[in-house]
Amino acid sequence: MITPHQPTLSVLRHRDELKVHTGRLFIDGQWLEGHGMPWTHSHPATNEQVGVLTTATKAQVDAAVRAARRAFDGHWPHWKARDRKRLLQRIAQLVEANGAELDQMQTLDNGMPISFSSTYQAGHQIAADIFDYHAGWVDRIAGQTLPTFTGGDAVVMTLREPVGVVAAIIPWNAPLMLSAQKVAPALAAGCTVVLKPSEYASFTVIRFAEILAEAGVPPGVFNLVLGPGDGTGEALVEHPAVDKISFTGSRGTGRYVMRAAADGIKRVSLELGGKSPNIVFPDVDLDATSGAVMGMVSMGLSGQGCACHTRALVHESIYDEMVDKCALMAQLCVLGDPFDPATTSGPLINPQQLERVTGFIHSGQSQGARLVIGGDRPGGELAIGNFVNPTLFADVDNSMTIAREEIFGPVLAMIPFTDEDDAVRIANDTSYGLGASVQTSDVKRALRVARRVRAGTFGVNGYTVVPNAPFGGYKTSGLGREGGQEGIDAFLETKTVIISTGDSRH
């Protein structure tokens, strides 16, 4: 077994940056103290308390939904497209202008290394672009005129109208980008929103709410409630005046949300987890590919991304070489103080997740997978945080728990395959279907595999999420899409209007 990189960075060096922040609710254009149980936030790298949230009671969630209802039943859906478009553009500009601070807030919230939080994909720039992109939709939301089916004097047309009050619930791993993915299309469509961030990453979203207020979002159109899922979240999801729930989070919570939506026949969109395959054919540059394959799981959020490709399916002819190269890549990861630009890999979000990931590592060992590197925790100063060393399992069978469950930690399961059919069979042998990738220089093979693998996003030699393309899951990875036209459609209803132009009445 190769010994992992020994971290030497002090996570405590930036203690001053972990200053205490206080979170408040934003309801009907007012900042309010929450009257629920306060929530103390501990930083994942140190488990030091870094902030206190005042959480919303059921009555305060009710007040937020009622404010959103009033704004929806009032002026907001009838705003001029020009004004709504400018408002979204202003939000984009303010997110950009406050970008460095927002990126740091994410690092403060969830321990995402600043080296990752300041990338396009994870940081403020994609959030700004999401608002900019949806600003472009505002004056393009349009219905159709249809031919009269049976003849006669009539005009048949469809109107596209906002779905109503949206309950938007997001997880902790990308609070800024995920807030934007819900709020931007909802506002563009003319909906009003009550947003609940994760109790493990609320500070970025509080700052984001301040930006929306500064941009001039009218009272009640955007509301923020804070608190845990089983109090604040349930009160929001179950509220009868909510028309649509847009949820991003784990599959388990997604099931609950869908059942709760059924009671009120609420519209529901779900962005859930994944167990994405990365299929590696022999015709690639193994150095670059091993960096991408292992790096996706071990760097940045340390595998805590929904679309992290945590199953590497590697052709048998290059399998041993890929194992060695991925192990070397794991050694290059620098765990440490997330505020240090040299740190590549962050901690797990909380001690419960640390225990869960450690349990999966033990299951891999007990079920016979070969632990090549990692599997343990760094010592020294990092021992106080929720760090796990980048972990590579080889000789994994796709039936093992580590190949089936979403681990949400820096654990890569490497599985050999014999040929293209075998690779596709293993890739599809999962209940998830969020992302998938193929690594090859053969474009015909890439397209064949892309068509056969059942996943919402497919990468050929890697991919990045972009605002103008739909993102979402096949199978149990979700329902609906965010981004692109489908992302805006998710916040719209269709009304058919039939206008009789003849003399007869029906």
The catalytic residue positions are 271, 306
Among 237, 297, 312, 427, binds ligand NAD (CB under 6 A): 237
Q: Does 250 bind ligand NAD (CB under 6 A)?
A: yes
Asked if residues 64 and 56 have their Cβ atoms less than 8 Å apart, the reply is yes
Find the part of the chain contacting ligand NAD (CB under 6 A) among 108-116, 158-166, 247-255, 332-340: 247-255
Residue count at the site for ligand NAD (CB under 6 A)? 30
β-pairing, 49-53 vs 39-42, is antiparallel
Nearer to ligand NAD, 199 or 381 (CB): 199
Nearer to ligand NAD, 169 or 191 (CB): 169
Judged by CB under 6 A, the chain residues 284 through 313 that form the site for ligand NAD are 306
Q: Name the helix (H) or strand (E) containing 322.
A: helix 319-332
Find the part of the chain contacting ligand NAD (CB under 6 A) among 62-70, 134-142, 150-158, 227-235: 227-235
Asked if residues 35 and 60 have their Cβ atoms less than 8 Å apart, the reply is yes
Find the part of the chain contacting ligand NAD (CB under 6 A) among 242-250, 313-321, 357-365, 411-419: 242-250
Among 109, 199, 243, 337, binds ligand NAD (CB under 6 A): 199
Among 234, 395, 397, 493, binds ligand NAD (CB under 6 A): 234
d(CA 310, CA 404): 10
Closest distance of CB 437 from ligand NAD, Å: 16
Nearer to ligand NAD, 374 or 473 (CB): 473
d(CA 78, CA 26): 23
Nearer to ligand NAD, 93 or 250 (CB): 250
296 phi, psi to nearest 5 deg? -60, -30
Among 36, 123, 273, 459, binds ligand NAD (CB under 6 A): 273
Find the part of the chain contacting ligand NAD (CB under 6 A) among 54-62, 195-203, 316-324, 411-419: 195-203
Q: Does 9 bind ligand NAD (CB under 6 A)?
A: no
Q: In the beta sheet, which residues pair with residue 394?
A: 370
Terminal C-alpha separation, the chain: 81
Query: For tokens 């934007």, what's the residue?
Result: 180
d(CA 168, CA 276): 25
Report CA 496 to chain centroid distance, whole Å.
34
d(CA 128, CA 97): 9
Q: Does 172 bind ligand NAD (CB under 6 A)?
A: yes
Q: Does 272 bind ligand NAD (CB under 6 A)?
A: yes
Q: Does 249 bind ligand NAD (CB under 6 A)?
A: yes
The structure tokens listed for 421 are 């059919």
Q: Does 117 bind ligand NAD (CB under 6 A)?
A: no
The DSSP secondary-structure symbol of 277 reads: E
Query: For tokens 């060695």, what's the residue?
Result: 324
Q: Does 478 bind ligand NAD (CB under 6 A)?
A: yes
Per-position DSSP letters for 136-176, written without gaps between them: TTGGG----EE--TT-SSEEEEEEEEE--EEEEE--SSSHH
Nearer to ligand NAD, 113 or 171 (CB): 171
If one counts every other C-beta atom within 10 angstroms of the C-beta of residue 251, the result is: 17
Contacting positions for ligand NAD (CB under 6 A): 169-174, 196, 198-199, 228-230, 233-234, 237, 248-250, 253, 256, 271-274, 306, 406, 408, 434, 473, 478
